[in-house]
Amino acid sequence: MASPSLAHELSRNDLSGHNEGKQPARIHAHPLDWWMLAGVAIAIVATIAGIALTHAKLAYFFQPTGALIVLGGTLGVTLMTAPRLSLLRSARRVAGLFRPRTVSREALAEEMIGYARSTRKAGMLSIEPLIARASHPFLRDMMALAIEVKSRAEFQAAVEAKARLRERQGEADARALEIAGGFAPTIGVLGTVVGLIDVLQRFSEPATIAMGIGTAFVSTIYGLALANLVLLPAACRIRVNVAEEFELEEMMLEGGLGLFDATHPALLRERFSGYL
């Protein structure tokens, strides 16, 4: 979100260059996404409550053998099928789901309209002192490119290519989690088969058969829970975030083209209305 002081500077069309040398706005820690945390808490509580209603002891569902097979097997096949960079980016994106970057589109629109006022009065170079204080990294890169590139078509092609690349990278990150989510239930069944083999080895002890069969099926529960409560929801949320980021970048590209065309601020605000 643009700082109030920067928005005020731009609205006054101050082109005297007195912003040079000022430090960029300080980046604050992103607040926790309580909506995301609430979803995780509801899923965990509902699962534990459902187990409690079966009158089975909760400790019964903690089986080291099944956990080792499901977690280790899922991690192994994910490492084999997904590129290393995608896995690293996926891990960073999952960590970022709990502290997402929130951007006020209204404030961003006003910020870009301020840049448009500056360029209409004093040309493209008038925004150079303000680049470092732009509120979004993509906007900073785009403005720097707008000053360097003289052709509107080249500018548009370069920014669109960058936005599409970021979108494809986000899709690959989500796909890595989807791959893991697809394998987890099957590996859980594998753990169940291993447990049943162990039961058959002790078939001469009838008293332990029922307990052994129940224990064996815990691996299936692990696989299903890992896929449907963790991996697939995280992949879906990443896709949603990537789509929102791409739309925001399209909005910034619209503003960048407005700088090239010296578009009137009122008309530029009308173009932004569809994104707000």
Which tokens is 163 given?
A: 């936005």
d(CA 171, CA 241): 10
Which pLDDT belongs to residue 6?
A: 41
* Entry pTM: 0.76
Cα angle at 256 between 255 and 259, to 5 degrees? 90
Q: Which of 29, 4, 9 is nearest to 20 (CA)?
A: 9
Alpha helices in 2-151 (DSSP H): 4-11, 34-53, 64-81, 84-96, 105-122, 137-148
d(CA 218, CA 230): 17
Which pLDDT belongs to residue 177?
A: 92
Which pLDDT belongs to residue 198?
A: 78
Which tokens is 212 given?
A: 């052994």
In b/e form, how buried is each residue of 242-258, taking b as 16+ CB within 10 angstroms?
beebeebbebbbbbbbb
Which pLDDT belongs to residue 30?
A: 63
d(CA 242, CA 111): 23
Q: Which residues of the chain have pLDDT under 70?
A: 1-30, 204-208, 210-211
d(CA 144, CA 149): 9
Query: Residue 228 carries which side chain, given as an amino acid letter?
Result: N
Which tokens is 240 given?
A: 């949603």
**Residues in Cβ contact with 5 at an 8 Å cutoff, skipping those fewer than 6 apart:** none
Q: What is the CA radius of gyration of the chain?
A: 27
Which pLDDT belongs to residue 210?
A: 65
d(CA 69, CA 104): 45
Which pLDDT belongs to residue 225?
A: 92
Which pLDDT belongs to residue 216?
A: 78
Which pLDDT belongs to residue 183?
A: 94
Q: 10 Å Cβ neighbour count for 215?
A: 20
d(CA 270, CA 236): 32
d(CA 123, CA 74): 56
